Structure 1
Amino acid sequence: MKTATIIRHIAFEDLGNLAPLLMQHDYAVTYIEAGYDNITQIDSVASDLVIVLGGPIGVYDESDYPFLLDELNFLESRLKLDLPTLGLCLGGQLIARALGAKVYQGNKGKEIGWASIDLSEAGKYSPIAYLAPEETFVLHWHGDTFDLPDGSTLLASTSKYPNQAFSWGKHCLALQFHPEVTARGLERWFIGHACEIGFTPDVSVNQLRLDTKRYASKLEIQAGKLWNAWLKTLV
């Protein structure tokens, strides 16, 4: 079997609907718990695939969370060889910084909830085309953003945050939003992120749950197509 190393920052933000797709593509999954496991002891180039998941901290919080520097070194080593790497939300931001781009707090408020994405021309011919606005809404959950790294290709935007997805090299994909979520899994997010929800204007658990009921099943279908298409490019 092929190997997939998953860097997780908080327990309930896991692979979600991506997990069964990795199994179908013959990947054996190993979770690395950021801040608990020692990332410096992991060979950054040994895995066939690395996926860096989301979390509630900022890429620039390395003074409080020094393990972020270990993650960045890990990603820099891997990306230098253009090895298959996927980043989701915080993971995508870490990839951006590892490639030399700036990551910072957005100036338009947090983007939390279900909404469409706008595809670039390149995005229309990429695997994330399965998430086109006419197809489905995706979950957004972030307040940070990033500049596009040199040599990257913008794939998607929203009105609040223009840099929502990019590809780099042959095998790197970074997404600001969360196509991996499931309706059942999000119930854990609503508990774990209760404080953030409570302090974010115009965001409530009740509305998030209603929108999840409306959009999550469609997202799972379309996300499955996205993951299948992207994983096939890694062969």
Structure 2
Amino acid sequence: MTRTGLIIRHVPHEGLAGYRDPIEAAGYTLARVDVTDPGFGSIDLGEPDLLIMMGGPMGVYEQDAHPWIACQIRRLARRLDAGRPTLGVCFGAQMIAAAMGAPVYPGPAKEIGFHPLDFVDRASPLRHLANTPLLHWHGDTFDLPDDVELLASTAAYRHQAFRRGSNILALQFHGEMGLDPRFDEWLRQWPEALAETGGSVDEMRERHRRHGPAAVAAGRNMIAEWLSGLS
């Protein structure tokens, strides 16, 4: 039986990347829609068997500048209330938190670079990520919604991942990135973010080269296990 998956892309250079392989291996036929697509507002987000929301540089609270955010949150909330399988990455995770009624707001400082999670729930699919340097690139955070489990933390950002039941997974970090050439666009667009955290483009390229393959391998194992447990 063919299962459908829909990727919501908020900017062109933040795509499914390393997560594509385990999702397709699990039998999902994937389609993609950009939020800039004129038909985005009319798509039924409850219909796909799997919904995947990727990252973006905007904040959930910037709804005046991006009117589609409020529209997406309303439709997403209906899907989450129904417990439909949903994955959110970085901005996508923040959208899940907002759709569950939790506030999203700027964090204390940007967290950018490759480093391991300080806490991982080893009874969850995130066990595959333990002790693996992963890409972090965010400056916003959120309160934990009601009735969710905290799955991962770092010293800078306690709320790195959560799940509600077996079907809804929100990941603040980028376990999908490490082999995707679109990472060069991140470096090109936001060198000031690196400078703000004391890094440089050359240094980040080297860390991407050194840590990227293992990060993607761990991320793929995590997603494969999560998909196998969907109800």
Mark yes or no: TM-score above 0.5. yes
Q: Secondary structure at the match of 2:60?
A: coil
Q: How does 1:1-235 map to 2 (within 5 A)?
A: 1-107=2-108, 109-120=109-120, 123-133=121-131, 136-185=132-181, 186-198=183-195, 200-234=196-230
Deviation digits for residues 110-150 of structure 1 (CA, Å, limit 9, x no counterpart): 00110110235xx11000110002xx111000000000001
Asked whether the equivalents of residues 139 and 178 of structure 1 are also in contact (C-alpha less than 8 Å), the reply is: yes
Q: Secondary structure at the match of 1:156?
A: strand
Give percent identity, aligned residues only.
37
Deviation digits for residues 25-59 of structure 1 (CA, Å, limit 9, x no counterpart): 11111111013343331112110000110000000
Superposed structure 1 runs of 4+ greater than 6 Å apart = none
Distance in 2 between residues matched to 1:170 and 1:232, nearest whole Å: 10
TM-score when normalising by structure 2: 0.95
CA RMSD of aligned residues (A): 1.4
Deviation at 1:23, TM superposition (A): 1.6
Distance in 1 between residues matched to 2:112 and 2:13, nearest whole Å: 17
Asked whether the equivalents of residues 117 and 156 of structure 1 are also in contact (C-alpha less than 8 Å), the reply is: yes
Higher mean C-alpha displacement, 188-197 vs 217-226: 188-197
TM-score when normalising by structure 1: 0.93
Distance in 1 between residues matched to 2:28 and 2:38, nearest whole Å: 21
Distance in 1 between residues matched to 2:4 and 2:101, nearest whole Å: 27
Q: Secondary structure at the match of 1:110?
A: strand
Return the letter of the residue paired with 2:223: W
Return the letter of the residue paired with 2:69: L
